[in-house]
Amino acid sequence: MGQTLTGLLTSVRAIAGRPGTPPRARPGDGPDPALLAALRLCGDHLAALAASGPLTDARRTRLIASIGALTTACSTPGADAFDALLRTGQQALDNGGDAGARLALALADEATALRARSKGAWRLRGNALDALGRSEEAITAYERHLALQQNTAASRDVERRIATLRAAGDLIDEALALVGVGVGDGAAGAGGDRTAAADGEEAGTGVGALRLSRHLPAADARAAFTELVRLHTTERGAADPAVRRLAALYAEHRRLSDRDPMADPLLGGAEPIGVSGLRRFLAGRTVCLVADTPHTAEQEQRPGSSLAALIEGYDLVVRCDAVRHAAPTARTDLHAVTLRGGSPWKGPRWDRRATARLVFGDPLPHWRLALRSRLVPGAQDRIGDATLRRPLHDPALIGEPADGDGPASTAYTVLRLLDFLGTPARVDLIGFEGPAALSPREGEWIGSRTGRTDDTAVRITLR
């Protein structure tokens, strides 16, 4: 293998030149300068392999064979070496380690320079950046791949990977917000200037927070997240609700770092979303919670109705529980339902079309069973995961103790959750008067946040 490697390196240098030599002009039908640059990078990698001693790893052997095929394609007049270039980049990535990932990224850069609309080149670039832990850049490359990919089925794994990387970044953002550090502050602290860390040393958790950022390489982000949790736990104790939430965010971040979330075939194709996903879904949007009453339903369906126009003007329309009066086609962007009575909960399937659905209930095993038996495939795009099933009493969310007044209404649970998340631009209640009025205890909480009322709506200012 040593002689074969030496001979291949000689061939590569003869075609592409040695490190430090100026790029060669393209003679006639000779290789494109980008291909020559890629081949020169391969030569540098071969030289490093030759210096590392005997090669017994099968993956390295396959990489060397790919470089040989690329060299042959580059030296054959009229040959299309682009596919050989992509295969070499993939073999470099499969070889493992930072050196292989860096070579794959460099080859992907040359490939995108050759063919800016190659979906394979952009996916290789995304995979290489992902392997190097450069998540935000990987997302950009993956999105370029998806924009060029016409086969939806072939792109599902890329879509899942993008969702995973974004979810991991959202967890970091939430952790920074939890400890009182702005996302921009965390990103700045992750850069080359560490002077703020010295000033924050006396503040305990400030050091870890300033270092943590979603823009850090994955390994550095994990280390900074670990340090942030350690410092915060030391300062406040493990029983502190904020520390418990921070630990939950850290655990979820580590889970996502280890593997992508698996699609549950029993959820009817819906995408599970957690706290961060719901916060992003609501961010900056106006929301109205519509009561299911005969009067409201009749007004919604009446042509030219001012109430119908009012509802249609919101970004998100929320409806709760079994919607008996509103038309089946009435717009529903978020449907929330509470599982009541003894478990296991049985009932009609949730077939009303909604962009997202939240199901509240406890205990966990019966909640899962209810989802799998009552969700209708295609009736929702997103379904709230287990972190959203009991927001009022979950210590990681609102954390209120259970009282003897019975379970809260679904509308009240939704309102408290929206208030806790804090990202909607505005939240209004429509039609919650008379028989649809909430309980006195719930009404008292709503009254404390009421910004405006009129004949049809209670306007709640959350922020």
**Antiparallel, parallel or unpaired: β 457-460 and 426-430:** antiparallel
- Phi and psi, residue 43, nearest 5°: -60, -45
The residue ranking higher by pLDDT, 127 or 460, is 127
pLDDT digits (tens, 9 = 90+) for 358-372: 999 988 888 888 888
What is the structure's pLDDT at 188? Answer: 41
DSSP state of 262: P
**CA-based nearest residue to 248, from 331, 153, 315, 171:** 171
pLDDT of 265 above 50: yes
Angle between helical axes of 119-131 and 135-148 (0-180°, round to 10): 160
Alpha carbon distance, N-terminus to C-terminus of the chain: 68
pLDDT digits (tens, 9 = 90+) for 186-229: 444 344 433 333 333 333 444 455 588 888 888 888 889 989 99
DSSP state of 375: B
What is the structure's pLDDT at 3? Answer: 44
Average pLDDT (10-28) is: 61
The rounded distance, in Å, linking the Cα atoms of 22 and 453 is 74
The rounded distance, in Å, linking the Cα atoms of 268 and 379 is 8
Which distant-in-sequence residues (6+ apart) come within 8 Å of 301 by Cβ?
A: 308, 327, 330
Least confident interval from 39-53, 104-118, 129-143, 258-272: 258-272
The rounded distance, in Å, linking the Cα atoms of 287 and 311 is 9
Sheet with 457-460: strands ordered across: 271-273, 380-384, 354-360, 334-338, 316-320, 286-290, 426-430, 457-460, 450-453
Contact in structure between 278 and 421 (CB atoms under 8 Å):
yes
Q: How far is CA 99 from the centre of its chain?
A: 27
Residue 98 burial (C-beta neighbours within 10 Å; 0-12, 13-18, 19+): exposed
Contact in structure between 71 and 8 (CB atoms under 8 Å):
yes
pLDDT of 270 above 70: yes
CB atoms near residue 35 (< 10 Å):
24
Q: Place 107 in a pLDDT band, splitting at 50, 70 and 90.
A: very high
The residue ranking higher by pLDDT, 463 or 287, is 287
What is the structure's pLDDT at 45? Answer: 83
Distances (CA, A) of 103 to 33, 127, 309, 432: 17, 12, 57, 62
Which ranges in 17-155 belong to alpha helices (H)?
A: 33-51, 58-75, 82-94, 97-114, 119-131, 135-148
Query: How much helix, strand and coil, in percent to the nearest 5, is found in the chain?
Result: 55, 10, 35
The rounded distance, in Å, linking the Cα atoms of 277 and 211 is 24
pLDDT digits (tens, 9 = 90+) for 402-435: 765 667 899 999 999 999 888 898 899 988 876 6
